[in-house]
Amino acid sequence: HLKVIRTFDMVTSAPEKLSGQAADKMQAGVILLDFMRRELNLSNSSVLGACQKLQEAVGLPNLAPRYAIDAPADAHDGSSRPTLSLSALLKQYGIRLTANQAYHQMVKLGIVEQRERYSRTGINNIKKFWSLTAK
């Protein structure tokens, strides 16, 4: 995150190299990205992708690495862990439930909740999705 902040500071302290409009766009992007990172708990790779798009949008050279590793904080090897869909996990462990049935069981336990987001293709522009709770 320091690289983004230093780049932002460099850009805003050199207005002759970057127009006021681009600097405003950069500042708004950094603020929005920081908010989204904290509130949506974005992965490292998501933050990296957003930083790369922000740099491109304001005409800066790409200073970010090509990829990020989304490793858990306790990963000793610094590597990402494999992930599977709920359907695949149920099948792998021989649990005879559909993903939908399993999600409804997890709702009863307070583990997941169904949320909504805007979507151009959803019914009435709304798509529902399952989200882990803080529990």
pLDDT by residue (tens digit) across 64-85?
Answer: 777 776 666 676 666 666 778 9
Q: Is the pTM of this model over 0.75?
A: no
User: For the chain, give me the number of helices (H) and strands (E)?
Assistant: 5, 2
Total residues belonging to the chain? 135
Count of Cβ atoms closer than 10 Å to residue 56 Cβ: 11
C-alpha distances out from residue 133 to 29, 41, 103, Å:
28, 12, 12
Q: Which residues contact 78 (CB under 8 A, 6 or more apart)?
A: 69, 71
Range name among 23-32, 68-77, 81-90 with the lowest pLDDT average: 68-77
How sure is the predictor about 96, in pLDDT bands with cuts at 50, 70 and 90?
very high
Model pLDDT for residues 102-133, shown as the tens digit of each residue: 999 999 999 999 999 998 888 899 999 999 88
d(CA 88, CA 76): 26
